[in-house]
Amino acid sequence: MNTPLLVLLLATGLLMLFSPRLGLVATLALGITLLTLTVRHQPYAHWLWLPWLLTLAWSLKPLRKIVITRPALGIIKRMLPPISATEHDAIAAGTTWWETDLFSGKPDWKKLLAIPQPRLSPEEQAFLAGPTEALCDMLDDWVITHELRDLPAPVWDFIRSEGFLGMIIPKEFGGLGFSAQAHSAVVGKIASRSVSAAVTVMVPNSLGPGELLLHYGSDAQKKYYLPRLASGQEIPCFALTGPEAGSDAGSMPDKGIVCRDFYKGEEVLGIRLTWEKRYITLGPVATVLGLAFQLHDPEHLLGSVEEIGITLALIPTSHPGVNIGRRHFPGNQAFMNGPNHGTDVFIPMSWVIGEREYVGRGWLMLMNCLAAGRAISLPALGTASAKMAARYSGEYARVRKQFKLPIGKLEGVEEALARIGGHAYTLEAARRMTCVGLDLGEKPAVVSAIMKYQATERMRMALNDAMDIHGGKGICAGPRNYLATAYQAIPIGITVEGANILTRTLIIFGQGAMRCHPFLLKEIEAAALADTQKGLEQFDGAFTAHVSHIMFNALRSIVHGLTLSVFAPAPATPTAHWYKKLSRLSSAFALTADAALGLLGGELKRRERLSGRFADVLAEMYLASAVLKRWEDEGRPAEDRALVDYSLALSVHQIEKQLYGILLNFPSPFIGWVLRRVMFPWGRCMAEPSDKIGHEVATLMLKPSASFDRLSEGLFLSRNRAEATGTLEYAFQLVTDTKDIEAKIRAARKDGLLHSEAPEAALLAGIISAAEAQLLVDTAAAVREVIMVDDFSNAELSGMRTPAVHRAELLRPGM
């Protein structure tokens, strides 16, 4: 084989990717050379004719369509599984944003850094500093979750009167008209005080009647309901999940039959409904029920279609036949949640959200709203929980001593502190950036799934570590315990708005591959066209661009792998090496994704282990991008660099680990082996955060500083020393203030001037002043209060029962 000629053939192919015209000229010149060598009976020439013919066919569009594109289109059609209506609506929902750059293999870092910084308007800042702080001050989570099993009546009244239930409703309808950034910040601050109160506030502002009416309601529906929802006159809930349809909500058995019947004495067109729902938040106190159901039209009263599909309606809970059940009690949380049902309940057609125009379009409506809403509420709650774990664990680890040391100085505790700090910093960065995207008008469905999954999973990790650090303090329930309620709420966030297992294995990459890949959806749409000629033409354009895309990503992966990303693109910044690593990993991800899609096609969605690993890679790239963006937005604070490096090291390590796991379990072991050699020629080299960086992060969390305050920014911080967190804040400050005094006493004892570290002895010896001695006594008392836990008599424990009074009755209009 003539090696120079083979290299020339490969170079010709690459040239064709850059310039088809020059590639064609080079192909023809190479053909003349091959013909000359063949005439001269060179033994190697005939081996190169087939690749040359393929190269020529590729360069000539009419020939390419016959020889390459048409067969490829046939293969694609055979590989594609049928896509259900609900799957199609889920794929089509929302928009794409920064995640498309990450999926491309060549992220544009200028585009990332050009995303506006997060901002709150003066009005939004005032609401956070005023009504939100006031609400948090009213909340006693122990009373809410263990004594009342409900929010106190004054809290309910305050939430309604101050407009908390109408944050997303425009001012023209009486709402606050807040940005996504403000909405998220309000929910996060409340969540740092009480999960039950946060859920009560976030549900009317998330996926539900308000959001659906804003986007799809008729003018009459908006004018009637939105002012009433904004003022709290109406309490909404939305019923989607039932006993037979949980994560697979599209298979719901709840049905409505189009018919004519009497309403208010007049015969009208309407729907006769039968349904059974459960897990419906605010259901027990709701005055208006949003309901999802399958609509059927056997008499063709609406048109020729009989099976119309999922439809959404708004029904007053006082309507005859609506049965609001008793309460569920999820995770020991006191927010209202429960079942409801109805049998043969007739409603007029005007109660369908959007009226007749939107019958059968319910799933698309839900997916479009979820694309934005899922990126706000649960991410805000998860982020607040991680930041709360960071602040309180750092303070407790400094205040609590064992072996004559603050426990935060023990290396095992340092490890846990660093993990918590990394999660808190990363989630806050991603929360801010995502809300900016929403406020720019994006509805990034894939990003919202990433945020929901990552925020709730990292909340679980952070709170688990926080519980380990607090030990017995964390497991004894009572007013002194500021972790237990949030810890018990973890499974709720994990489960709702798409269970995390399914979000990771089916949604993030499954939807991401279809929406974020630059060419895949175009190819699939072309393959589905009934007009075969038009389909072939569209497929040819997408397919040829796709092949070029693969070749460029392969080339980038080879170069970046061999050079350890030294030549990867990055902005001029002190963190440039992290941008380079992410550029390399993005190319590797894109190439691996194309290889898996090419081998498995639609079968990939059933290979959930592989899909889950791909989801982890895409999610970690998004989170790492947000960390880099946050550091730039905040002015590159040097004191935060340890948090940045820790967070990024953890992300790139996870990305490399999951990519390697994909290739080790690749459907073709040989291709997996080849790709490992291409992408990781030196093996795995992206280590977890070093002990040194972990130590720096943990140390940062053990003392008051601007960096520590930024890490926990947005939390409600109580200054009430009669409360658990207020006592902790007070003790943490005192321990910091007495550090130098304690150092003087230790030095005096080391010099033999003292035989005891008691403040009284140091005062008598003249080592410290009377004021310093009193400060030490006050500090010891505050620390003692922090480390104490609650105890109860048997009578007190047996008295912690659910009150008999139902808030539903108290909240009915006119009550």
Residues that are catalytic: 497
User: 5: closest CA among 36, 45, 40?
Assistant: 45
DSSP state letter for 507: I
Q: How far apart are CA 428 and CA 711, in angstroms?
A: 8
**499 three-class SS:** coil
**Which H or E run contains 308?**
strand 307-316
Q: How far apart are CA 353 and CA 315, in angstroms?
A: 10
* 3-state SS, residue 238: strand
**Which of 274, 422, 295, 277 lies closest to 338, judged by CA?**
277
Nearby residues of 40 by Cβ (< 8 Å), 6 or more positions away: none
- Block residue for tokens 């992220």: 107
* Helices then strands, each counted (H, E), the chain: 38, 9
Residue 289, classed as helix, strand or coil, is strand
**Chain-centre distance of CA 79, in angstroms?**
31
Residue 440 CA to residue 433 CA, distance in Å, equals 11
Do 194 and 335 meet the contact criterion of CB atoms below 8 Å apart?
Answer: no
How far is residue 271's CA from residue 58's CA, in Å, rounded to a whole number? 57
CB 309 within 8 A of CB 255: no
Tokens describing residue 42: 């060179």
- Residue whose C-alpha is closest to residue 579's, from 495, 477, 651, 525: 651
Q: What is the DSSP letter of 508?
A: I
Say how far apart CA 646 and CA 651 lie, in whole Å: 9
CA distance 44 to 3: 10
Distance CA 46, CA 74 (A): 30
Per-residue tokens: 769: 């002043």
Give residue 342's Cα distance to chain centre: 34
Phi and psi for 280 in degrees, rounded to 5?
-95, 110
Place of tokens 């008793």: 326
Which residues have a Cβ under 8 Å from the Cβ of 791 and sit 6 or more positions away? 476, 478
Token duo for residue 241: 């999940």
Which residues, including other chains, have CB under 8 Å from residue 508's CB and lie 6 or more apart?
Answer: 446, 449, 450, 453, 614, 615, 618, 619
Three-state secondary structure along 325-377? Answer: CCCCCHHHCCCCEEEEEEEEEEEEHHHECCHHHHCCCHHHHHHHHHHHHCCCH
In 665-712, alpha helices (H): 669-679, 691-700, 706-711
Distance CA 465, CA 386 (A): 10
3-state secondary structure of 714: coil
Residue 753 in tokens: 């001037």
Question: How far is Cα 750 from Cα 721, in angstroms, rounded to an integer?
Answer: 35
Contacts 24+ apart (CB under 8 A), 36-44: 37/5, 42/2, 44/1, 44/2, 44/5
Q: Return the H-helix or E-strand segment holding 267.
A: strand 266-281
Q: Using alpha carbons only, what angle is made at residue 299 by residues 298 and 300, rounded to the nearest 5 degrees?
A: 95
H helix or E strand, kind and range, residue 272? strand 266-281
